[in-house]
């Protein structure tokens, strides 16, 4: 249970923590909604063939995964991606929100915490979710665009792994937050840095490694499914 605290925030990882889907599902949806049927088919096939490569990169590091994965956005129109993001939310993301996710956020909001999503997803994909959940802010990856088309590269800083902890420190400094009074929620061991940087970490729907860490540090464990 949250205590009412000033200068505090709750930081939430998104994929696997608040929603069932992940950035691969989002890209697959965008790939299947290209302006032409042939373009949609080609990108969908390429995505399917690349899944084993994505899994291998994710095992290596989340940063390596992001750098590889977002290359597949190269050539996509910025305007189209932004317009489709609302449809993606309604079709894919909204139905995948875990049943108890909104309850957790509402409880935290009532306790006076600022609500912040922290996601390796893209900003235009995360924005509708943040608005729907009533979050105050979000931090997400941003694609680099050249003359309105994605280059396949992310703008820095990347939102992944240990970088999340530094982004939280920077955000706390900019918004007069005391991280010792803040909460963080994630499902993945790769997010250990973002959990360790706050005074009140919580493992949510944790993978095996994070569950073991949570047990050893006596962190709370939640299941929002």
Query: Do the domain assignments include residue 22?
Result: yes
* Two structure tokens written together for 59: 């095992």
Query: Do the domain assignments include residue 1?
Result: no
Q: How far apart are CA 20 and CA 40, in angstroms?
A: 24
pTM: 0.86
Q: What is the pLDDT of residue 5?
A: 52
Q: How far apart are CA 184 and CA 165, in angstroms?
A: 10
Task: Report yes or no: 195 and 221 within 8 Å, Cβ to Cβ.
Answer: no
* Two structure tokens written together for 142: 């941003």
Tens-digit pLDDT profile for residues 25-46:
787 787 767 654 344 444 544 5
Query: Do the domain assignments include residue 49?
Result: yes
Query: Do the domain assignments include residue 138?
Result: yes
Q: What is the pLDDT of residue 132?
A: 97
Q: Report the CATH number at residue 94.
A: 3.40.50.1000
Query: Do the domain assignments include residue 203?
Result: yes
Tens-digit pLDDT profile for residues 166-215:
999 999 999 999 999 999 999 999 999 999 999 999 999 999 999 999 99
89 vs 31 pLDDT, higher one:
89
**What is the Rg, in whole angstroms, of the alpha carbon atoms belonging to the chain?**
17
The number of distinct structural domains making up the chain is: 1
* Two structure tokens written together for 49: 């063939």
pLDDT at residue 160 greater than cutoff 90? no
Query: Do the domain assignments include residue 39?
Result: yes
Report the Cα 147 to chain-centroid distance in Å.
27
Q: Which domain holds residue 186?
A: 9-222
pLDDT at residue 8 greater than cutoff 70? yes
Query: Do the domain assignments include residue 119?
Result: yes
Task: Report yes or no: 184 and 165 within 8 Å, Cβ to Cβ.
Answer: no
Report the Cα 218 to chain-centroid distance in Å.
25
Q: What mean pLDDT value characterizes the chain?
A: 86
pLDDT at residue 54 greater than cutoff 70? no
161 vs 93 pLDDT, higher one:
93
Average pLDDT of the residues in 107-122: 95
Query: Do the domain assignments include residue 2?
Result: no
Least confident of 6-15, 92-101, 203-212: 6-15
């Amino acid at each position: 249970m949250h205590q009412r605290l000033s200068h505090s925030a709750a930081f939430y990882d998104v994929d696997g923590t608040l929603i069932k889907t992940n950035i691969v599902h989002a890209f697959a949806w965008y790939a299947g909604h290209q302006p032409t049927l042939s373009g949609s088919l080609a990108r969908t096939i390429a995505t399917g063939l690349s899944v084993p490569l994505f899994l291998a990169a994710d095992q290596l590091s989340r940063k390596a995964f992001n750098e590889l994965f977002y290359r597949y956005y190269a050539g996509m129109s910025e305007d189209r991606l932004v317009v489709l993001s609302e449809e993606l939310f309604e079709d894919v993301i909204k139905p995948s929100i875990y049943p108890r996710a909104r309850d957790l956020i509402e409880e935290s909001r009532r306790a006076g915490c600022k609500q912040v999503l922290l996601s390796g997803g893209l900003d235009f994909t995360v924005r509708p979710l943040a608005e729907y959940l009533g979050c105050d802010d979000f931090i997400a990856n941003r694609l680099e665009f050249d003359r309105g088309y994605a280059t396949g590269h992310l703008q820095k800083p990347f939102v992944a792994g240990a970088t999340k902890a530094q982004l939280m420190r920077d955000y706390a400094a900019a918004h007069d937050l005391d991280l010792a009074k803040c909460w963080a929620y994630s499902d993945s061991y790769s997010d250990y840095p973002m959990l360790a940087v706050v005074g009140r970490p919580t493992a949510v729907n944790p993978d095996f490694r994070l569950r073991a860490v949570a047990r050893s540090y006596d962190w709370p464990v939640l299941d929002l499914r």
